[in-house]
Amino acid sequence: MTKIPHRLYLTEDQMPRQWYNLRADMKEQPDPLLNPGTLEPLRTEELYPIFCEALARQEMDGQTRFFDIPEPVREVYKMYRPSPLIRAYNLEKALGTPAKIYYKFEGNNTSGSHKLNSAVAQAYYAKEQGITRLTTETGAGQWGTALAEACSYFGIDLDVFMVKCSYEQKPFRKAVMGVFDARVTPSPSMTTEAGRKILSENPDTTGSLGCAISEAVESAVSTPNSRYVLGSVLNQVLLHQSIIGLESALAMEQLGEYPDVVVGCAGGGSNLGGLIAPFMRDKLTGIRNPRIVAVEPASCPSFTRGKYAYDFCDTGKVTPMARMYTLGSGFIPSANHAGGLRYHGMSPILSKLYHDGYMEAVSYKQTEVFEAAVRFAKLETILPAPESAHAIKGAMDVALQCKETGEEKTILFGLTGTGYFDMTAYESYLNGSMNDHVPTDEELQKGFDSLPDIPQNKNI
């Protein structure tokens, strides 16, 4: 038998031409979005002032199994995709595990992560509708960079509200977005009502994704011909990100492999939802039964310590309400360098699947995550993003379990991106100043107290 290569790239011809919509195979749909005023299920049209129409329809469509990837989007995908499926031979050897470890690496593009997959789609649909300006938020800065690239490509203006602590920790992210002509504002800012309100209540806040979302949404809906876009959590984002899983499944098939365990980091769910899509489909339809493991930071543990409840997607409470695993939109996560995972909620699709027992979740403290990141970098030559390192740590632990049991399992994890803009974080790890704070029950309770007091939340 030929040895399996270190890296497998699909050819351009083999690239998927459709995205896969996981909801079409779910036995029960995620609970509907609610209009916060009426508490009635949201109608698609009600989303049109916020999202452009094609995206609003994708957001609400639980039936259509496959969506054609528009030709112009595929043309951009071809500029940085397919991404490689990599066999982690050195990591396996160093761990002494009988398990085979594969990872799908999404970091080899200038956004530095998988975020470009949805950014290109969202910018394209906006362009199609004649939208001239988009707004968004960014935490770690990867989504903002991705969207800046996509908007520059399609000729759309972009305003990015960047979580203040990331803005300060990662000055060069702002510069990259600037190369692509995006305007970047640290959030909370005085440019929106939501920002001013948050600042008046908490002048020293370093911001949060939830808060930046409030500002970006307000800025979009109050400006003509503008729309808001989001890089995670939403159903449409998971749809676009299914390209990750579809490519992974094809590549593994070519190698004669199938993952027994699929591991992904989970912040809002964009990568995890995309990575697991075809494998979860097999599970939902009874064809195969892979273990699916979500990995989150112990400092922001939506799955492992959150509640499955209706909540706002933002801190300013201007968005529709979604039923999801949440720590409450008022939860303030402690400083954690995985900015992309510092979100109070979780994708409603993934939340439903987790609630129904199709997935597991684990959490890790950031020091052990960075320990895994540095070990991985030395063995596999890729310096991972802090977010991605959560998946590495999760996969390593599964591989070490295999070592104990002697099981030759096949593990697939998602390496979402590179850590080149996260060196402040690495420095704090290397010099021992990293903070491992985990929220106390009292701190969590404060977040839960911010949950909407509505009938749907009575029994949580």
Number of residues counted as binding a second copy (CB under 8 A)? 42
Q: How far apart are CA 354 and CA 272, in angstroms?
A: 12
Is 180 a binding residue for a second copy by CB under 8 A? The answer is yes
Longest CA–CA span in the chain (Å) reads 67
Choice from 421, 439, 444, 448 touching a second copy (CB under 8 A): 421
Q: Which stretch binds a second copy (CB under 8 A): 22-30, 173-181, 233-241, 409-417?
A: 173-181
Residue 108, interface with a second copy (CB under 8 A)?
Answer: yes
| CB of 248 vs a second copy, minimal distance in Å | 17
Task: Work out how close the CB of 80 gets to a second copy at its nearest, in angstroms, rounded to a whole number.
Answer: 6
Q: Decide: is 12 part of the binding site for a second copy (CB under 8 A).
A: yes
Alpha helices in 10-112 (DSSP H): 44-47, 53-60, 71-80, 89-95
CB of 414 to a second copy, least distance (A): 18
| 78 touching a second copy, by CB under 8 A | yes
Does the protein bind a second copy through residue 160 (CB under 8 A)? no
Encoded tokens for 156: 């759309």
Whole-number Cα distances in Å, 135 to 33, 51, 421? 21, 10, 22
Measured in degrees and rounded to the nearest 5, phi and psi for residue 431 equal -95, 10
- The correct pick among 79, 190, 400, 460 for binding a second copy (CB under 8 A) is 79
| Contact map string, positions 195 to 224, toward a second copy, x by CB under 8 A | ------------------------------
Report if residue 41 touches a second copy, rule: CB under 8 A.
no
Cα four-point dihedral sign 240, 119, 186, 364: positive
93 makes contact with a second copy (CB under 8 A) = no
Distance CA 16, CA 250 (A): 9
Residue ranges that bind a second copy, judged by CB under 8 A: 5-7, 9, 11-13, 76, 78-80, 90, 108-110, 112, 116, 149, 152-153, 171-172, 175-176, 178-180, 374, 377-378, 380-383, 418, 420-421, 423-424, 426-427, 430
